[in-house]
Amino acid sequence: MSISYKYWDDCVDPEDMQLMWHDVDVCKEWSDAGERLGQRVHLSRDPDGQTYVTQTEMRVVSRIIVDKHFKSQLDPDMLCALAEILSDRQLLAEKYDKKLKETKIGIMQISLKTAEWLAREMGYRNYEIENPSLLFRPFVNVYFGAAYIKWLFSHDGK
């Protein structure tokens, strides 16, 4: 799948972008990097040119998702740690799971099949996934990753 984002504005809804700017740490990080409110914000890139989410940005995305959809149910720091382990916070990460014969996508490494199941069967419909490329969007991906983790915590009462 050929997806490419250059700016946060390309992959984040305006409301979520506003919430990002309202966070003191993100505002400072972006301002220190030369970004200005009202202008498009560049995504960070590693030496290989791959887009990634900084630790500060990841903390805020996780906190916003938890505050909006999973209040008191999940720890945003846990989501950050999982994003680090699963994808190294790379926005466009893709890994093929040979055992399951499916591709895991994005920061939280969610498969389209899992996201569709969460939306259809479990009622997680706050973000649309009519197009698989939407799973590369950070808020969409973290939302479905958080939903899956919440389901795992409650599965079979374990």
pLDDT value, residue 14: 95
Show contacts of 78-83: CB within 8 Å, 24+ apart: 78/149, 79/108, 79/142, 79/145, 79/146, 79/149, 80/55, 82/108, 82/145, 82/149, 83/53, 83/58, 83/107, 83/108, 83/142, 83/145
52: helix, strand or coil: strand
Please give the Cα distance from 149 to 153 (Å, whole number). 6
pLDDT value, residue 93: 94
Domain assignments of the chain as residue spans, ordered by start? 8-157
pLDDT value, residue 81: 97
Instruction: Give the model confidence (pLDDT) of 81-136 as tens digits.
Output: 999 999 999 999 999 999 989 999 999 999 999 999 999 999 999 988 888 899 99
pLDDT value, residue 157: 62
3-state per-residue secondary structure call for 66-124: HHHHCCCCCCHHHHHHHHHHHHCCECCCEEEECCCCEEEECCCCEEHHHHHHHHHHHCC
Q: Is the dihedral of CA 132, 136, 139, 144 positive or negative?
A: positive
Q: Does domain 8-157 have CATH number 1.20.120.80?
A: no
- Bridge partners (DSSP) listed for residue 105: 94, 110
Instruction: Give the model confidence (pLDDT) of 35-67 as tens digits.
Output: 999 999 999 999 999 999 999 999 999 999 999
